[in-house]
Amino acid sequence: MSDWTTVRADEVAVGDRIRLYGQNLAVTRVDAPFLGRENMVLFVESTTERWQCLPAGTDSEVEVSR
């Protein structure tokens, strides 16, 4: 079983598995700034199984499993 740690969104890195807004995401790309806003970040999972993204404020709390 994975251990989850809470970090700020701007600390999430490619390869992390995150839980945000009740959804799990395997981060394959981090877009920052997002939409030209320095205080926004977009987490993207782009795999052969699915494509999903979740936006967040850079100071938002995100659960991470590394």
Residue-wise pLDDT tens digits, 16-57: 999 999 999 999 999 999 999 999 999 999 999 999 999 999
Query: Which option is the CATH number for 5-65: 2.30.30.30, 2.60.40.10, 3.50.50.60, 3.30.300.30?
Result: 2.30.30.30
Ranges of each domain in the chain:
5-65
H helical segments located in 1-66: none
Q: What is the pLDDT of residue 66?
A: 81
Q: How far is it, in rounded angstroms, from Cα 58 to Cα 54?
A: 12
